Amino acid sequence: MKGVPLWRVAAGIVVLAVLLILVATFAPIYIHNMELQNFVTDIATRPDTASQSDDVMRTWVLDRAHDLRLPVRSDNIKIEHPPEGRRIDVRYFVRVDLPGYTVDLHFYPGAGSH
User: CA distances (Å), 76 to each of 51, 53, 65, in order?
Assistant: 22, 17, 11
Q: How far is 49 from 60, CA to CA, in rounded Å?
A: 11
Other C-beta atoms within 10 Å of 7: how many? 8
Q: How far is 88 from 67, CA to CA, in rounded Å?
A: 19
Record the pTM.
Answer: 0.84
Which residue ranges of the chain lie beneath pLDDT 50? none
Q: What is the reported pLDDT for 91?
A: 97
Domain boundaries, the chain: 28-112
Other C-beta atoms within 10 Å of 107: how many? 20
Q: Which residues contact residue 113 at a Cβ distance below 8 angstroms, ignoring those fewer than 6 apart?
A: 44, 45, 50, 84, 85, 86, 87
Q: Contact 111/39 with Cβ under 8 angstroms?
A: no
Q: What is the reported pLDDT for 4?
A: 82
pLDDT tens per residue across span 46-67 = 888 878 899 999 999 999 999 9
